[in-house]
């Protein structure tokens, strides 16, 4: 037995189907149009973080830098500090030349020898003079002699034993002198850089300013130790 089904289509059902089809078509068209719009839209860059923003200029920095430069000009120059350090370390050029000149003179000058002799033997003789009544005479015999000799060693004019020791000393002094100059230059110019950097720093950066100030005082003490206190004495530092 066959069953036959019939579906009745009412006007309300037909209108609902048409509305659903229109919505699906509109949604598909909207996706197709919106996709290229989003692809072509310009990318908005994020705002930079607040820490990367440029700080406003400090109006008092120029004045502080000028004062720091004026104070540095009143301090001893690097050459003056260098000469003081070399003299204190006994590594200056004048002392080196003196040693070399002294070694050369030792080869030229002779060796002097001084001797003295005294004869303590006592020889006495008594005699009576006939011409003088009751006149006796006494004679003693004591000898005192001096001798001075000068001796040159001609082989020392060609090679003197002290010359080798002097040249060894000079070689060591030259190495010590170069190391001392490099060490002092590092301390002096690091100190000057920190003084100007501190003057140009923001007043709000208190921790950094304190660290640099302590380092400046440390470098000042080291330079004074190397130069016999010349930096603080000449600049009038406390």
The residue among 216, 230, 222 whose CA lies nearest residue 183 is 222
| Cα 39 to the center of its chain, rounded Å | 61
- Positions of E strands within the chain: 111-118, 125-128, 136-139, 144-151
Give, for 89, the enclosing helix (H) or strand (E). Answer: none
Q: What is the pLDDT of residue 150?
A: 82
Q: What is the pLDDT of residue 164?
A: 73
The residue among 115, 98, 102, 103 whose CA lies nearest residue 151 is 115
Is the distance from CB of 139 to CB of 124 less than 8 angstroms?
yes
57/91 Cα distance (integer angstroms): 48
177/172 Cα distance (integer angstroms): 8
Q: What is the pLDDT of residue 8?
A: 47
Q: What is the pLDDT of residue 75?
A: 95
The residue among 7, 41, 89, 57 whose CA lies nearest residue 202 is 57
Q: What is the pLDDT of residue 44?
A: 57
The model's pTM: 0.54
Digitized pLDDT (tens) for each residue of the chain, 238 residues in all: 444 444 444 555 555 555 555 544 454 444 454 444 444 445 555 555 444 345 566 777 889 899 999 999 999 999 999 999 998 887 666 776 777 777 777 777 778 888 877 766 665 555 655 665 555 555 556 667 778 888 877 777 666 677 777 777 778 888 888 999 999 999 999 999 999 999 888 777 788 888 999 999 999 999 999 999 999 999 888 7
């Amino acid at each position: 037995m066959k069953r036959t089904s019939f579906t009745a289509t009412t006007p309300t059902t037909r209108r609902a189907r048409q509305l659903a089809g229109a919505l699906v078509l509109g949604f598909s068209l909207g996706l197709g149009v919106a996709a290229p719009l989003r692809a072509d839209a310009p990318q908005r860059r994020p705002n930079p973080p607040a820490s990367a923003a440029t700080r406003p200029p400090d109006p008092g920095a120029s004045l502080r830098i000028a004062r720091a430069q004026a104070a540095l000009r009143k301090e001893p120059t690097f050459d003056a500090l260098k000469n003081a350090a070399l003299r204190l370390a006994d590594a200056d050029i004048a002392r080196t030349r003196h040693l070399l000149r002294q070694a050369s003179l030792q080869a030229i000058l002779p060796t002097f020898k001084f001797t003295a002799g005294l004869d303590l033997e006592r020889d006495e003789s008594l005699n009576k003079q006939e011409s003088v009544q009751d006149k006796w005479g006494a004679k003693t015999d004591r000898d005192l002699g001096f001798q001075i000799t000068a001796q040159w060693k001609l082989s020392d004019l060609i090679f003197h034993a002290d010359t080798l020791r002097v040249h060894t000393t000079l070689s060591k002094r030259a190495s010590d002198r170069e190391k001392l100059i490099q060490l002092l230059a590092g301390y002096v110019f690091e100190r000057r850089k920190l003084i100007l950097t501190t003057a140009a720093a923001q007043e709000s950066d208190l921790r950094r300013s304190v660290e640099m100030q302590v380092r400046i005082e440390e470098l000042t003490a080291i330079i004074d130790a190397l130069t016999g206190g010349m930096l603080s004495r000449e600049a009038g530092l406390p």
